[in-house]
């Protein structure tokens, strides 16, 4: 009797620093025959290391993590060119946060109170190469147009400002943003990182442009409100 190809399970990686949430999520996902939770991780740096080692099909990724935040993890995986589809699953939710997540490399974004059925459907969709944003399923060519459409509502004054928002913060800029939130001066940041004060100043200018804020205090508040920086790490 001829047999067809054996269905391949979707290999899922869970990244969240709350063990109760991870365990509950694992139980929900493992009720599905086609989903296989291969590893749970609580730290951003460890998530990056394990993702490169195991290469899951889909990663469910929190933003507020110790070691490295979720946006940094997503950006690093995107730069590595590994075929890992990321779903941001976080307590922080506003329109701009969705934009930051998608441009950093995520394929979908949901608040943590998303229904299990909706999340499971999203896992299957992103595994097939689709994006899920604001209840819309988009294919890759549509994502750039969607981002531009949404940015038009932010009241930007020029194409340059819009272009800046489309470029994610670099790992170095995220690092400097952490120091800014700690209240350190450019001189102190330069000393800690072993770079010149002018280089710090250049990074600071880039951060302000990308976040569309006016000063370092606003930049720190912006990052704290969105969970990019953990209060316990300050």
CB atoms within 10 A of CB 10: 22
**Residue 78, token pair as written in the block:** 């995107």
**Residue 100: pLDDT above 80?**
no
Q: What is the pLDDT of residue 162?
A: 42
DSSP three-state, residue 179: helix
What Cα–Cα distance (Å) separates residue 157 from each residue in 144, 152, 212? Answer: 19, 10, 11
The pLDDT of residue 17 is: 92
Nearest to 47, CA basis, from 18, 24, 21, 14: 14
* Average pLDDT score over the chain: 82
Task: Please write the tens of the pLDDT for every residue from 168-177.
Answer: 677 788 888 8
Query: What SS3 state is found at 202?
Result: helix
Pairing between strand 131-133 and 136-138? antiparallel
Would you state the torsion angle of the CA atoms of residues 24, 26, 31, 36, taken in this order, to the nearest 10 degrees? 180
Is the pLDDT at 143 greater than 70, yes or no? Answer: no
Q: What domains lie within the chain, and their CATH numbers?
A: 10-149 (3.40.50.2300), 169-233 (1.10.10.10)
CA distance 127 to 137: 13
């Amino acid at each position: 009797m001829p047999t067809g190809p054996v269905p391949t399970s979707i290999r899922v990686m869970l990244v969240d620093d709350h063990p109760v949430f991870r365990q509950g999520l694992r139980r929900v996902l493992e009720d599905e025959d086609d989903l296989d939770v291969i590893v749970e991780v609580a730290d951003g740096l460890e998530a990056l290391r394990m993702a490169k080692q195991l290469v899951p099909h889909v990663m469910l990724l929190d933003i507020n993590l110790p070691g490295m935040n979720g946006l940094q993890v997503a950006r690093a995986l995107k730069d590595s060119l590994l075929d890992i589809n990321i779903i941001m699953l976080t307590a922080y939710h506003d329109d701009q946060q969705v934009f930051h997540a998608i441009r950093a490399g995520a394929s979908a974004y949901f608040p943590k109170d998303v229904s299990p059925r909706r999340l499971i459907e999203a896992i299957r969709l992103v595994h097939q190469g689709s994006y899920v944003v604001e209840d819309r399923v988009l294919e890759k060519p549509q994502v750039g147009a969607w981002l531009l459409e949404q940015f038009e509502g932010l009241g930007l004054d020029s194409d340059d400002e819009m272009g800046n928002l489309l470029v994610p913060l670099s790992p170095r800029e995220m690092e400097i943003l952490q120091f800014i939130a700690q209240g350190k001066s450019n001189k102190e940041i330069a000393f800690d990182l072993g770079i010149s004060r002018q280089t710090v100043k250049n990074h600071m200018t880039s951060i302000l442009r990308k976040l569309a804020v006016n000063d370092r205090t606003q930049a720190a508040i912006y990052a704290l409100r969105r969970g990019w920086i953990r209060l316990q790490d300050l």
